[in-house]
Chains A and B, each alone.
Chain A
Amino acid sequence: MSTYTAITDADREAMLAEIGVDTVEDLFAPIPQELRLGRPLDLPAGRPEQDVYKHLRELAAKNVSAEDEVTFLGGGMYDHYVPALIDMLMSRSEFLTPYTPYQPEVSQGGLQVMFEYQTAISELTGLPVANASVYEGPSALASAGYLAKLANGKSKFVISAGVHPHSIETLRTYAHGYGVEVVEVPLRDGVTDPDAWAEAIDDETGALFFQNPNFYGAVEDATALTSAKRAGCVAIAAYDPIVLGILKPPGQCGVDVCIGEGQPLGNRLDYGGPSFGFFAATEAYLRRMPGRIAGETVDADGRRGFVLTLQTREQHIRREKATSNICTAQALNALGGVVYLAWLGRQGIVELGELLLQRTHYARQALTAIPGVEALHDQPVIREFAVTLPAGAPVADVVERCAAQGINPGLALPEQNALLVAITEQRSREEIDRLADVLGRAVSEVTA
């Protein structure tokens, strides 16, 4: 058993004497006896470090990770390469172990990282203000909805069916709480149906939501979608940050609030988290943003420094009138994000975007060359696309056959009998060719 404590019997005796009680038990006197557990917790006994390591390694070995197979899984989280310097920086004690920077004089490192991160997110999105991170993608979208609710008090949200299903579900959960109806607009030809979109939006629409590229990989016409909004309505868009080297930034498309899942930026897959959510907005919504914001100031000697600012928005000051209940966010993961963006750099983010664009096109061509396999839609795609399989080849069976060959062909979409296929810079042409080969054989075997 490791407890990471240091109290010896001699310590305990001396400490109890100092306190003026006889036993540790005496310190728990306020807890009524009838509420005491009165037995040991029914948990396994503690184990030494090496045994725990072995147990956790054995559990890890029961998973098939992106290290064990060639994976084309995406759908919100992607197998991008995480450069080694991120592991090193994120594991430094000085970044790993402090709390939220409540004492700015001894938190300048973390606060400056937040300031740099906010700058990077603002640059990526083309929006002037960004916060220091929220939990992750789908709850970021629901928090943006709360911002809209507080800003205009309207009773209806309109959301494109191209938004990640987890985001739509999360928005529904939150919106039921703060009392807004959620109306979903279907897709047509792979993108948000413009007629249904225009029809759904009225004067009671407090916010509209779309995702770009959408869940099925299609690039949406963001400018057209935001132009449908009426006075007071907030246009909220979820973006994949990795494509913003080449995709027109939301700030230039009429988007008021841009949020998204930050995992593609230097964060591990971690079976879904922790990663970070980013949150950027137009100046008008600065004082309505959720979460921490780092700001620049000076110290008593006139030196440049950073503090948490605009805290009157936040729960610890504003309590029931706060713009959000968020306290702990994802500072360490946001550090990974900004280090990744610095590592990628001004040229790199464009080059990466262009590479994904070419390889994704190649992969789409390769897969749709398989007899019976067709593109789910013909819209432009950058890093992900969907293909339908022939009716005689249920996608679950096809995925199983491919997995047995060491290829994870992508996310099964059983309703459309389709596969959502994601490309990263780690998926070479050779691997894409292998996917096409394995998938082609799987489809014909299952059909036969």
Chain B
Amino acid sequence: MTLMDVDPTQTPLQREAAVTIFEKGAPGRRAFVAPALDVPPVDPSTLLPAAFRRAEGPRLPELSEPEIVRHYVKLSKRNFDLDSGFYPLGSCTMKHNPRLHERVAALPGHARLHPFQHPKRAQGALELMWNLERALSEVSGLPHVSLQPSAGSHGELAGVLLARAYHEDRGQTRTKVLTPDTAHGTNPATVTMAGLEVVKVGTNADGGVDLDDLRAKATEDVACLMLTNPNTLGVFDPNIAEIAEIVHGVGSVLYYDGANLNAIMGITRPGDMGFDIVHFNLHKSFTQPHGGGGPGSGPIAVSQRMEPYLMNPRIVKDEDGSFDLRDESEKSIGRLRGFQGNYGCFVRSYAYICSLGAEGLKDASESAVLNANYLLAKLGDVSEHLPLAYGKLCMHEFVLSGAPMKRELGIKTLDLAKRLLDHGYHPPTVYFPLLVEEALLVEPTETETRETLDLFAEAIKAILLEAAEDPEIARAAPYTTPVRRLDEALAAKRPVIRQPL
């Protein structure tokens, strides 16, 4: 490409065509240098018979280290990230990821500790996990914790299997799980995976659980109710004590989806609300970086009556103060994964809890709720087109409906989201929860400044003003991103999910 070919209407990133690493490099290039063969060589065919051998090696890329580094650093620049800008993705709690956590997680004593190391020689790791379990127990108000699940949905599976085991142990077969229609998609998917059946419970005019509907559906064959509180509408259900009473009244179990824990740390506790099982998302409330789609970590905390069914192994503290890993109960549902869970995430979240302490965790939740309400108030100016779906105030997040905007300005929530990209913001969650038309779920988190919230509100206003003039601008957005709006239908119709070689 000569300078003459440079299209001035395109940004430098747009001019750069997407080329995969499999299309780069040249035969014979390499980065890895194998250690010398320092043992007496033996004819390899006597060690691994020909029938088991691979005829041709996998066609992996062939590049030098500088090429690999440049390729991935360039790719990284095609991402938007939390360190670069505001990321108010609802229900995802995109709070700052402190860099201290990366430093301590990388200490060799943590990072190079083998999971089969004898517990006697992994006392620091077990102590850390024990301390984290105690802290999560205190935050949730439930006495027993297992750190094992790998993410929130994995914790949900643990919880539903636990509820099932609890009933089976009492000789009861309960086949149904109640979930509100505001629930995360992971809730119903989990229920089916655990071999149970989903029964939806309606939402009342205030955004909480419809108590009449709940009473009608809370029958003796219900294994548990899965609830998020505050729910995905950003509404704290004030009837929670009554909900618990109804569910416990039929001998059922209460499951708390902790995705929204960031609103209530140190203020109220699921255990005190009557819940039996809670999962935490360490990658939401407790700062494990999201990594572009994981890793996460989804510990669960449970009440006394659920404890016998917790996953194996458990961390135990012996009388001499030492720690061990043991299978503690024959009634355990078993294992949900290999080893002890995502320890690297435990290190980060534990460091976070140490930094904040009791007061800091409460302050984080209060600030998260303050920030959300402030942004909601700032957006009051546009409530004609983007009204709040439920209530007047919110907890740590809120749902706006883009229905009037779509009707009167001719742009959909998706268009608004795409235009926000041109303003340098990651859009809020769109089209969730499902029961709000053209939903926009906004969660600013406590680590954002007032100035950021002001500017974000200004951007939304500017987009709506622009749409009133010419809706086509938002409909064709974004313009400044590395690629423009992508054809998702094409991708699904003719799936190309690997580089042809």
Whether A178 pairs with B194 at a CB distance below 8 angstroms is yes
When the two chains form their complex, are residues B103 and A53 in contact, meaning their CB atoms are under 8 A apart?
A: yes
A139 lies within 8 A of B161 (CB): no
Which residue of chain B lies nearest to A61 when distances are taken between CB atoms in the complex?
A: B109
What 0/1 pattern do residues 133 to 176 of A give for CB contact below 8 A with B? Answer: 10111110000001000000000000000001011011011101
**B483 and A108 contact, CB distance less than 8 A:** yes
- Interchain Cβ contacts under 8 Å between A and B, 28 examples: A31-B267, A41-B265, A43-B361, A47-B354, A56-B104, A56-B128, A94-B81, A106-B481, A116-B22, A123-B59, A129-B497, A135-B154, A138-B335, A170-B338, A173-B336, A246-B54, A270-B111, A271-B114, A293-B497, A295-B492, A305-B18, A316-B185, A320-B188, A328-B153, A342-B21, A344-B31, A344-B60, A430-B38
Question: Roughly how many angstroms separate A120 CA and B68 CA in the complex, as a whole number?
Answer: 15
Q: How far is the CA of A198 from the CA of B481 in the complex (A)?
A: 57
Chain A 296-326 interface residues, beta-carbon cutoff 8 Å to B: 296-301, 303-307, 309-312, 314-322, 324-326
* Cβ contacts under 8 Å, B417 to chain A: 103
B344 contacts A40, CB within 8 Å? no
Contact B294 A274 (CB under 8 A): yes
User: Inside 8 A of A130's CB, which chain B residues have their CB?
Assistant: 497-498
Cross-chain contact of B107 among A57, A286, A293 (Cβ < 8 A)? A57
A11-B450, A328-B152 known; A88+B194 contact, CB < 8 A? no
The answer to whether the Cβ of B92 comes within 8 Å of any Cβ in the partner chain is yes
Choose from A76, A109, A276, A312 the contact partner of B79 (Cβ within 8 Å): A109
Contact of B109 with A41 in the complex, beta carbons under 8 Å: no
Nearest-CB distance from A197 to chain B (Å)? 18
Q: Is the CB of A98 within 8 A of B82?
A: yes
Complex contacts, B364 vs chain A, CB 8 Å? 3-5
Provide the residues of chain B in CB contact with A136, threshold 8 Å. 150, 337-338
Cα–Cα distance between A48 and B98 once the two chains are bound (Å): 12
Residues of B contacting A361 in the complex (Cβ-Cβ under 8 angstroms): 39, 42, 47
A270 contacts which of B185, B344, B496 (Cβ < 8 Å)?
Answer: B344
Interchain CA distance A120-B112 in the complex, whole Å? 25
Residue B76 at the chain A interface, CB threshold 8 Å = yes
Q: When the two chains form their complex, are residues B112 and A79 in contact, meaning their CB atoms are under 8 A apart?
A: yes
Q: How many residues of B contact A (CB 8 A)?
A: 208
Stretch touching chain B among A202-210, A229-237, A352-360: A352-360
- Identify which of A66, A221, A246 contacts B114 (C-beta below 8 A): A66
Within 8 Å of chain A (Cβ to Cβ): is B123? yes
User: With the chains together, A267 CA to B482 CA distance in Å?
Assistant: 29
B486 proximity list for chain A (CB < 8 A):
104-105, 297-300, 305-307
Kindly list chain B residues whose C-beta atoms are within 8 Å of the C-beta of A49: 100, 355
Would you call B75 an interface residue if the criterion is a C-beta within 8 Å of the partner chain's C-beta atoms?
Answer: yes
* Residue numbers in A under 8 Å from B356 (CB-CB): 1-3, 46
Besides A103-B80, A429-B38, 5 more A-B contacts (Cβ < 8 Å) are A56-B347, A109-B79, A309-B491, A339-B72, A358-B37
Q: Tell me the bound Cα distance from A332 to B116 in angstroms.
A: 24
Chain A residues whose CB sits within 8 angstroms of the CB of B121 once the complex forms:
63-64, 403
B269 touching A7 by the CB < 8 A rule?
Answer: no
Name the distance in Å between A222's Cβ and chain B's nearest Cβ: 8
- Per the bound structure, the CA–CA distance linking A173 and B450 in Å amounts to 47
Total inter-chain residue pairs, C-beta < 8 Å: 734
Is there an interface contact between A164 and B338, defined as CB atoms closer than 8 Å?
yes
> Is the CB–CB distance between B81 and A93 below 8 Å?
yes
- Surface stretch bound by A, among B247-255, B299-307, B425-433, B463-471: B425-433
Interface status of B124 (Cβ within 8 A of chain A): yes
**B471 CB, min distance to chain A CBs, angstroms:** 16
Distance (Å) between the CB of B166 and the closest chain A CB?
A: 14
A273 touching B342 by the CB < 8 A rule? yes
B370 touches A7 (CB 8 A): yes
Q: Which B residues are in CB contact (< 8 Å) with A317?
A: 185
**Structural contact, A166 and B338, CB atoms closer than 8 A:** yes
Known contacts A67-B108, A138-B338, A268-B111: A41-B139 contact under CB 8 Å: yes
List residues of chain A with CB within 8 A of the CB of B360: 1-3, 46
Contact A107/B58 with A3-B360, A268-B111 known, Cβ cut-off 8 Å: no
| Chain B residues near A24 (CB-CB < 8 A) | 366, 369-370
Chain B hits for A299, CB < 8 A? 483-487
Partner of A4, one of B98, B114, B184, B268: B98
B171 within 8 A of A: no
Binary A-proximity of B28-44 (CB < 8 A = 1, otherwise 0): 11111011011111101
Q: Cβ of A122 < 8 Å from any Cβ of B? A: yes
A48-88 CB contact bits vs B (8 Å, 1 = yes)? 11001101111111111111100101111101000101011
Q: How far apart are the CA atoms of A3 and B448 in the complex, in Å?
A: 12
A164: B residues at CB distance < 8 A:
338
Interface string of B324-362 (1 = CB under 8 A from A): 000000000111111111111101001101111111111
Q: In the complex where A3-B363, A122-B498 touch, is A315 in contact with B58 (Cβ < 8 A)?
A: no
B377 part of interface (Cβ distance < 8 Å):
yes
Q: Is the CB of B115 within 8 A of A271?
A: yes
Are B153 and A77 in contact, CB atoms less than 8 angstroms apart?
Answer: no
A414 at the A/B interface (Cβ < 8 Å)?
A: no
Compute how far the CA of A275 lies from the CA of B185 in the bound complex, rounded to whole angstroms. Answer: 25
B344 touches A274 (CB 8 A): yes
User: In the complex, what residue of chain A is closest to B427 when comparing beta carbons?
Assistant: A103
> Which A residue's beta carbon lies closest to that of B40?
A362
CA distance A14 to B371 in the complex (A): 12
CA distance A428 to B374 in the complex (A): 61
Residues of A contacting B293 in the complex (Cβ-Cβ under 8 angstroms): 99-101, 110, 114, 132-133, 292, 328-332
A88 in contact with B69 (CB, 8 Å): yes
Contact A97 to B289, CB < 8 A, known contacts A89-B72, A339-B72 = yes
Give Cα distance in the complex from A94 to B87, angstroms.
13
A110 touches B58 (CB 8 A): no
Closest chain B residue to A42 by CB distance? B138
Task: Provide the B69-103 mask, 1 if CB < 8 A to any CB of A, else 0.
Answer: 10111011111111110010100101111101011
A45-B357, A273-B339 given as contacts; is B76 within 8 A of A109 (CB)?
yes
Closest to A432 in B: B39
A345 touches B60 (CB 8 A): yes
Does A115 make an interface contact (CB < 8 A)? yes
Contacts of A59 in B (CB 8 A): 109-110, 124-125, 127-128
Q: Can you name the residue of chain A whose Cβ is closest to the Cβ of B345?
A: A274
Given A331-B293, A347-B62: A99 and B94 interface contact (C-beta under 8 Å): yes
- B397-438: CB near A (< 8 Å → 1, else 0) gives 000000000000000000001100100001101001000000
- Is A15 part of the contact surface with B, judged by Cβ < 8 Å? yes
- Taking CB atoms, residues of chain A closer than 8 Å to B194 are 177-178
Question: Quick check: B498 and A128 within 8 Å, CB to CB?
Answer: yes
In the bound complex, CA of A230 to CA of B250 (Å): 45
Residue among A65, A248, A430 having the largest count of chain B Cβ atoms under 10 Å: A65
Do A109 and B426 have beta carbons less than 8 Å apart?
no
Q: Shortest distance in angstroms between B430's beta carbon and chain A's nearest beta carbon?
A: 8
Binary interface profile of A, 412-448, with partner B (CB < 8 Å = 1, else 0)? 0000000000000100111010000000000000000
Q: How far is the CA of A164 from the CA of B335 in the complex (A)?
A: 12
Q: Find the A residue at minimum CB distance from B92.
A: A99
* B429/A102 in contact, CB under 8 A: yes
Check A387 for interface membership: any CB of B closer than 8 A.
no
Measured between alpha carbons, how far is A20 from B312 in the docked complex, in Å?
A: 50
A327→B151 contact, CB < 8 A = yes
Known contacts being A49-B100, A105-B418, A300-B485, is A348 close to B377, with CB within 8 Å?
no
Say whether, besides A139-B150, A268-B344, A63 and B53 are in contact (CB < 8 Å): no
**Restricting to B457-491, which residues have a CB under 8 Å from any CB of A?**
476, 478, 481-488, 490-491
What separation, in Å, do the CA atoms of A229 and B128 have in the docked complex? 46
B343 contact from A53, A246, A270, A298, Cβ within 8 A: A270
A48–B21 CA distance with the chains assembled, in angstroms: 43
The answer to whether B44 touches A358 (Cβ under 8 A) is: yes
The interface residues of chain A lying within 8 Å CB-to-CB of B190 are: 325
Per the bound structure, the CA–CA distance linking A124 and B486 in Å amounts to 29
Per the bound structure, the CA–CA distance linking A108 and B72 in Å amounts to 12
